[in-house]
Amino acid sequence: MSTGKKGDSRSGLYFLVFVVAIYLVLFLLKPEKTLPALRASGNMLVRILPIFVLVVFFMGIMNYLLTPKTISRYVGQGSGIKGWLLATSTGILSHGPIYAWYPLLRDLRVQGMRSGLAAAFLYNRSIKIPLLPMMVYYFGIKFALVLLLFMMIASLAEGKLIELFERGPKALG
Protein backbone atom coordinates (compact mmCIF):
# COMPACT_ATOMS: atom_id res chain seq x y z
CA MET A 1 0.00 0.00 0.00
CA SER A 2 1.15 3.47 -0.75
CA THR A 3 2.12 5.62 2.11
CA GLY A 4 1.49 9.09 0.89
CA LYS A 5 0.40 11.31 -1.94
CA LYS A 6 3.50 10.52 -4.00
CA GLY A 7 3.17 6.80 -3.38
CA ASP A 8 -0.54 6.97 -4.06
CA SER A 9 -0.13 8.58 -7.47
CA ARG A 10 2.86 6.33 -8.24
CA SER A 11 0.88 3.13 -7.63
CA GLY A 12 -1.87 4.59 -9.81
CA LEU A 13 0.67 5.30 -12.54
CA TYR A 14 2.09 1.77 -12.32
CA PHE A 15 -1.44 0.38 -12.64
CA LEU A 16 -2.15 2.61 -15.67
CA VAL A 17 1.12 1.58 -17.33
CA PHE A 18 0.23 -2.07 -16.68
CA VAL A 19 -3.20 -1.66 -18.32
CA VAL A 20 -1.69 0.23 -21.29
CA ALA A 21 0.80 -2.64 -21.68
CA ILE A 22 -2.14 -5.10 -21.81
CA TYR A 23 -3.70 -2.93 -24.54
CA LEU A 24 -0.45 -2.94 -26.54
CA VAL A 25 -0.13 -6.73 -26.34
CA LEU A 26 -3.80 -7.20 -27.28
CA PHE A 27 -3.45 -4.69 -30.12
CA LEU A 28 -0.68 -6.83 -31.61
CA LEU A 29 -2.77 -10.00 -31.22
CA LYS A 30 -6.32 -8.73 -31.89
CA PRO A 31 -6.37 -5.18 -33.23
CA GLU A 32 -9.97 -5.56 -34.48
CA LYS A 33 -11.16 -5.93 -30.85
CA THR A 34 -8.67 -3.72 -29.05
CA LEU A 35 -9.59 -0.50 -30.86
CA PRO A 36 -13.33 -0.89 -30.05
CA ALA A 37 -12.33 -1.54 -26.41
CA LEU A 38 -10.37 1.72 -26.42
CA ARG A 39 -13.37 3.47 -27.98
CA ALA A 40 -15.70 1.95 -25.34
CA SER A 41 -13.39 3.26 -22.60
CA GLY A 42 -13.38 6.72 -24.20
CA ASN A 43 -17.18 6.76 -24.32
CA MET A 44 -17.30 5.62 -20.69
CA LEU A 45 -14.92 8.42 -19.67
CA VAL A 46 -17.05 11.04 -21.46
CA ARG A 47 -20.20 9.69 -19.75
CA ILE A 48 -18.73 9.80 -16.24
CA LEU A 49 -16.89 13.15 -16.50
CA PRO A 50 -19.92 15.04 -15.10
CA ILE A 51 -19.92 12.64 -12.12
CA PHE A 52 -16.26 13.44 -11.45
CA VAL A 53 -17.09 17.16 -11.57
CA LEU A 54 -19.94 16.53 -9.10
CA VAL A 55 -17.66 14.55 -6.76
CA VAL A 56 -14.96 17.26 -6.82
CA PHE A 57 -17.66 19.85 -6.14
CA PHE A 58 -18.95 17.86 -3.12
CA MET A 59 -15.41 17.35 -1.85
CA GLY A 60 -14.61 21.06 -2.15
CA ILE A 61 -17.76 22.14 -0.35
CA MET A 62 -17.35 19.51 2.36
CA ASN A 63 -13.70 20.39 2.85
CA TYR A 64 -14.69 24.02 3.31
CA LEU A 65 -17.79 23.56 5.48
CA LEU A 66 -17.27 20.41 7.51
CA THR A 67 -14.92 19.85 10.40
CA PRO A 68 -13.97 16.40 11.72
CA LYS A 69 -16.28 17.16 14.65
CA THR A 70 -19.30 17.59 12.33
CA ILE A 71 -18.39 14.48 10.34
CA SER A 72 -17.99 12.53 13.55
CA ARG A 73 -21.48 13.61 14.64
CA TYR A 74 -23.14 12.39 11.43
CA VAL A 75 -21.04 9.42 10.29
CA GLY A 76 -18.47 8.96 13.06
CA GLN A 77 -18.28 6.53 15.97
CA GLY A 78 -21.16 8.09 17.89
CA SER A 79 -23.48 8.58 14.91
CA GLY A 80 -25.66 5.55 15.75
CA ILE A 81 -28.77 4.79 13.71
CA LYS A 82 -28.62 8.27 12.15
CA GLY A 83 -25.30 7.34 10.53
CA TRP A 84 -26.66 4.07 9.10
CA LEU A 85 -29.72 5.84 7.69
CA LEU A 86 -27.53 8.53 6.15
CA ALA A 87 -25.11 6.01 4.59
CA THR A 88 -27.98 3.89 3.24
CA SER A 89 -29.99 6.77 1.77
CA THR A 90 -27.03 8.64 0.25
CA GLY A 91 -25.76 5.34 -1.19
CA ILE A 92 -29.10 4.71 -2.90
CA LEU A 93 -29.39 8.30 -4.17
CA SER A 94 -25.78 8.68 -5.41
CA HIS A 95 -25.10 8.37 -9.13
CA GLY A 96 -22.28 7.25 -11.39
CA PRO A 97 -19.71 4.47 -11.15
CA ILE A 98 -18.61 3.24 -7.75
CA TYR A 99 -14.94 4.23 -8.25
CA ALA A 100 -15.89 7.89 -8.76
CA TRP A 101 -16.83 8.01 -5.07
CA TYR A 102 -13.60 6.49 -3.68
CA PRO A 103 -11.74 9.84 -3.30
CA LEU A 104 -14.67 11.39 -1.40
CA LEU A 105 -14.98 8.36 0.89
CA ARG A 106 -11.22 8.38 1.49
CA ASP A 107 -11.41 11.98 2.72
CA LEU A 108 -14.46 11.26 4.89
CA ARG A 109 -12.76 8.23 6.44
CA VAL A 110 -9.63 10.27 7.16
CA GLN A 111 -11.87 12.69 9.03
CA GLY A 112 -13.48 9.95 11.11
CA MET A 113 -16.20 8.24 9.07
CA ARG A 114 -16.92 4.71 10.34
CA SER A 115 -15.71 1.92 8.02
CA GLY A 116 -19.04 0.15 8.34
CA LEU A 117 -20.87 3.20 7.07
CA ALA A 118 -18.48 3.50 4.11
CA ALA A 119 -19.18 -0.16 3.30
CA ALA A 120 -22.95 0.33 3.65
CA PHE A 121 -22.75 3.38 1.36
CA LEU A 122 -20.85 1.39 -1.29
CA TYR A 123 -23.24 -1.59 -1.05
CA ASN A 124 -26.32 0.62 -1.37
CA ARG A 125 -24.86 2.21 -4.49
CA SER A 126 -25.89 -1.04 -6.18
CA ILE A 127 -29.56 -0.15 -5.61
CA LYS A 128 -30.40 2.00 -8.61
CA ILE A 129 -33.86 3.55 -8.38
CA PRO A 130 -33.76 4.90 -11.98
CA LEU A 131 -33.02 1.37 -13.22
CA LEU A 132 -35.91 -0.18 -11.29
CA PRO A 133 -38.30 -0.19 -14.31
CA MET A 134 -35.64 -2.09 -16.29
CA MET A 135 -35.30 -4.70 -13.53
CA VAL A 136 -39.10 -5.01 -13.30
CA TYR A 137 -39.26 -5.50 -17.10
CA TYR A 138 -36.81 -8.41 -16.98
CA PHE A 139 -37.65 -10.04 -13.65
CA GLY A 140 -41.04 -8.74 -12.45
CA ILE A 141 -42.11 -6.33 -9.71
CA LYS A 142 -42.15 -8.94 -6.88
CA PHE A 143 -38.58 -10.01 -7.67
CA ALA A 144 -37.34 -6.41 -7.82
CA LEU A 145 -38.93 -5.39 -4.51
CA VAL A 146 -37.85 -8.52 -2.59
CA LEU A 147 -34.31 -8.28 -3.99
CA LEU A 148 -33.95 -4.60 -3.10
CA LEU A 149 -35.20 -5.25 0.43
CA PHE A 150 -32.64 -8.03 0.95
CA MET A 151 -29.88 -5.91 -0.57
CA MET A 152 -30.59 -3.15 1.94
CA ILE A 153 -30.46 -5.69 4.77
CA ALA A 154 -27.23 -7.11 3.31
CA SER A 155 -25.68 -3.61 3.20
CA LEU A 156 -26.21 -3.21 6.95
CA ALA A 157 -24.91 -6.73 7.61
CA GLU A 158 -21.79 -6.02 5.56
CA GLY A 159 -21.15 -2.74 7.38
CA LYS A 160 -21.50 -4.45 10.78
CA LEU A 161 -19.27 -7.37 9.71
CA ILE A 162 -16.52 -5.04 8.50
CA GLU A 163 -16.57 -3.13 11.77
CA LEU A 164 -16.48 -6.39 13.70
CA PHE A 165 -13.45 -7.61 11.72
CA GLU A 166 -11.67 -4.26 11.95
CA ARG A 167 -12.14 -4.14 15.71
CA GLY A 168 -11.12 -7.78 16.12
CA PRO A 169 -7.31 -7.46 16.26
CA LYS A 170 -7.58 -4.41 18.54
CA ALA A 171 -9.80 -6.29 20.94
CA LEU A 172 -7.33 -9.18 21.00
CA GLY A 173 -4.27 -6.94 21.21
| Residue list 65-94, contact with another protein (CB under 8 A) | 65, 67-69
- CB of 13 or CB of 85, closer to another protein: 13
Q: What part of residues 110-129 is at the interface with another protein (CB under 8 A)? A: 110-111, 115, 118-119, 122-123, 125-126, 128
Q: According to CB under 8 A, which residues from 24 to 53 bind another protein?
A: 26, 33-34, 36-42, 44-45, 48, 52
Residue 168 interacts with another protein (CB under 8 A): yes or no: no
- Which of residues 1 and 28 has its CB atom nearest to another protein in the complex? 1
Residues 6+ apart with CB under 8 A from 120: 84, 87, 88, 91, 155, 156, 158, 159
The alpha-helical segments, DSSP class H, found in the chain are: 5-29, 31-65, 68-75, 80-93, 102-110, 115-124, 132-139, 141-172
Stretch that binds another protein, among 73-81, 83-91, 140-148 (CB under 8 A): 140-148
Q: Are 115 and 162 in contact (CB under 8 A)?
A: yes
